[in-house]
A = this chain, B = another copy of it.
Amino acid sequence: MKHGKQKNDPQKSDGSVYKLVELVGSSSKSSDDAVNNAVTRAAKTLRNLRWFQVTETRGSLADGKVAHWQVTVKIGFTLDDES
């Protein structure tokens, strides 16, 4: 993680490296739910997810209403052995 925990993880606290992946989550419910969907999807294939940053909020419109919220997030995770 970009932030805390390093002290609890001393053998790798110095020189820890994190990777950022950029996903777009979508949801018909809410902008927060779009973020949750992106995180849930990332968790299927990546371990050690630590933080996220929202980089864009947009969405599709249909019939004069928000059809889907589409939120772009960067997700940071600890690199162990894949890159």
Q: Is the CB of A52 within 8 A of B59?
A: yes
Q: Copy number in this complex?
A: 12
Q: How far is the CA of A2 from the CA of B6 in the complex (A)?
A: 14
Q: Is the CB of B31 within 8 A of A32?
A: yes
Encode A44-83 as 1/0 by CB contact (under 8 A) with B: 1110011111101111111011111110101110010111
CB distance from A4 to the nearest CB of B (A): 1
Contacts A53-B56, A58-B53, A58-B54 known; A36 to B20 CB distance under 8 Å?
Answer: no
Q: Is the CB of A15 within 8 A of B31?
A: no
Please report A residues at the B interface, Cβ cutoff 8 Å: 1-7, 13-32, 35-46, 49-54, 56-62, 64-70, 72, 74-76, 79, 81-83
